[in-house]
Amino acid sequence: MATEILDNTAEDPGRRAPLVLGGHTFTTLTETVCEVVERPTPRAWWVAFSLSLALSGLFFALLGYLVVTGIGVWGLNIPTAWAFDITNFVFWVGIGHAGTLISAILFLFRQKWRTAINRFAEGMTIFAVVCALVFPTIHTGRPWFDYWLMPIPNQMKMWPQFRSPLLWDVFAVSTYFTVSLLFWYVGMIPDLATLRDRAKTRLRKVLYGIFSLGWRGSGRQWHHYERVYLLLAALATPLVLSVHSVVSFDFAVSQLPGWHTTIFPPYFVAGAIFGGFAMVLTLLIPIRAWLGLHHIVTARHLENMAKIVLATGMMVGYAYAMELFIAWYSGNPYERFVFINRALGPYAWAYWTMIGCNVLAPQLFWFERGRRNPLALWVVAMLVNVGMWFERFVIIVTSLTRDFLPSSWDYFRPTWVDLLTLAGSFGLFLTLLLLFIRFLPSFAMAEVKSVMPEAGLEHGRHRGHGQYWGEIPHQHDRQFEGGTP
C-alpha cells in the first residue's frame, strides 16, 4: 500500500496518469478479466458467499415471520409509524445512484476514467435497488394487498390514489430499475460474447451464447450497440435526479415539521450520490486487492471517486446547515423545536454520528495522501455508509417521535427483528454481488481497451468517424470483438 502511494506521488504533475498500468496489451487485458470468471472458485469466495447466503436466508425467514405475525414484531409505536423499513428503503435506493451516475452521466461527459469501474458500479446499482424494492412491499403491513398500488381495476372498483407520493415511488423506482438493468445488460453483451468464445464447457458456451444474443462484433452490430448505449445513457441520466427527488417527496409533501421543506429533492439527490460513491469505494477497494486488479482500477480511479465523495459531502454538509438556517429563519416554533430536538434531544447520539461521518470524515480527502491511500479511502467510505444510514434514520424517526402533541411522544427502540432484517438486506446485496463477480465480467473489457494507449496508436486513422465513445473506433478489428483477441 505504501509502495502504491509512493509510485503515484512520483508522477510528472504535468501529465495525467495512464488509466491502465502494468504494460497491458489487448490480449493480456482480456486474459486478466476473464480469468476471474474462468479459474476454479477460490476458497475465500466460498467463505464469503456462505456467510452472505446465510444472512440472505435469515432475511427471507424474517420477512416470512413478519407476514405471518404482523408488523407488531417491529419496534413501531404511536406516533412512530415509520422507522427501520423506510430508513432501509431510502438508504438502498440511494446506494443505487452511483452506478447510473458513473455509467450514464460520466459517459455523456466523456470521462474516460469511468471505463474501469462502470460495470461494477452498474451491477451494484441493480442489487441495491433489488434490496430497496423489498421494503415498500412490506412496510404497508399487508403486502398481499400491494396490487392495489398498480393502475389496474380491482374487485373494489377503485383506482390508486395518484396524488400519493407512495405511488410515485412505485413508478419512479420501477422505471429506474428497468432502465438501469437494460443499461447494465446491453453494456455487457460484447464481453459475454468473449466469455462464450473462450468457454471450455458446453454449459458455459450455451449460457453465455444465449445472453450474448448472437454477438459477432461486426461493424453493423457495433454501430447499433453504440447508438443504443447512448440512448440508454440519455434516458438514465435524468433518472439520477428524478428518482431520489420523488423519494424525497414522501416527506416533503407532508405537513410534519422537519419534513415539509423544499430543500429535500436536491438534498436527497446529493446525499444519494455521496452514499453511492462511498459504497462503490467500500466494495471496490477490497475486491481490487483480492483479485489483483491494481493495474486496471488504478489509484487515479480511486482518487477521482474520492474527489466526488468530497464534493457531494460538502453539498450534504451545506444542506444540513441550510436546514438549521431555514428552521431559525422561518420563525415557526415547531420547526425550530424539531431541529433543536435532533441535536440536543434523546436522539442526539444519532444526529452527531451523522455529522461526524458525513461532514467531518470526508475532509480527509482535501489532502492528496488521504485520497491516494486505499486504507484511508476505505475507512472514510465505511464511515460515510454508516453516516448516510443514520441520516435517513434521523430524518424519519426524530420527526415522528415528538410530534405536535406532547402527550403522545414516545421513544423508538428497534427490536431484534428490525436489526436482523437490516443485516439480512446486506446479506442479499452481497450474495448477488458475489454471484455477479464469479460468473459475469465485472469490468468492461471493450471499454477499458478503448482508453489504452494501444487503442490510440493503432486506430488513429479511425478517429472522427462519428464515435459515441470518444476513443473507440468503429469496431472492425478482432481486438475489439466479442471473442478471444
Are the C-beta atoms of 217 and 190 separated by less than 8 Å?
A: yes
Mean pLDDT of all residues in 403-430: 91
Q: Peptide bond before 79: cis, by omega within 30 degrees of 0?
A: yes
Q: Could you tell me how many helices (H) and strands (E) the chain has, helices first?
A: 20, 0
SS3 of the chain: helix, strand, coil, percent, to 5: 75, 0, 25
| Residues 6 or more apart whose Cβ sits within 8 Å of residue 47 | none
User: Does 10 score more than 50 pLDDT?
Assistant: no
Mean pLDDT of all residues in 458-485: 39
Average pLDDT, the chain: 84
pTM: 0.86
Mean pLDDT of all residues in 387-401: 92
User: What one-letter code names the amino acid at 21?
Assistant: L
Instruction: Read off the DSSP letter of residue 150.
Output: S
User: Does 21 score more than 80 pLDDT?
Assistant: no
User: Does 173 score more than 70 pLDDT?
Assistant: yes
Q: What is the pLDDT of residue 455?
A: 66
Are the C-beta atoms of 157 and 411 separated by less than 8 Å?
A: no
Q: Where is pLDDT greater, at 24 or 106?
A: 106
Residue labelled with grid coordinates 454538509: 317
CATH number of 21-151+159-480: 1.20.1630.10
Q: What is the pLDDT of residues 223-233, one digit of tens each?
A: 999 999 999 98
Q: What is the pLDDT of residue 14?
A: 56
User: Does 356 score more than 90 pLDDT?
Assistant: yes
Residue labelled with grid coordinates 495522501: 369
Q: What is the pLDDT of residue 477?
A: 39
Are the C-beta atoms of 131 and 263 separated by less than 8 Å?
A: no
Mean pLDDT of all residues in 60-78: 90
120 burial (CB, 10 Å; 0-12 / 13-18 / 19+) is buried
User: Does 478 score more than 70 pLDDT?
Assistant: no
Domain ranges, ordered by start, for the chain = 21-151+159-480
Separation of alpha carbons 405 and 23, rounded Å: 68
**Residue 463 pLDDT level (bands cut at 50, 70, 90):** very low
Q: At what angle do helices 165-198 and 118-138 cross, to 10 degrees?
A: 140
Q: What is the pLDDT of residues 253-281, one digit of tens each?
A: 888 888 988 899 999 999 999 998 999 99
**Residue 92 pLDDT level (bands cut at 50, 70, 90):** very high
Mean pLDDT of all residues in 13-23: 69
Q: What is the pLDDT of residue 4?
A: 47
Separation of alpha carbons 248 and 270, rounded Å: 12
Separation of alpha carbons 439 and 161, rounded Å: 42
3-state secondary structure of 320: helix
User: Does 18 score more than 70 pLDDT?
Assistant: yes
Q: What is the pLDDT of residue 26?
A: 82
Are the C-beta atoms of 366 and 376 separated by less than 8 Å?
A: no
Q: Where is pLDDT greater, at 292 or 480?
A: 292
439 burial (CB, 10 Å; 0-12 / 13-18 / 19+) is middle
Q: Which cell numbers hold the place of 43?
A: 476458497
Q: What is the pLDDT of residue 136?
A: 82
User: Does 422 score more than 90 pLDDT?
Assistant: yes
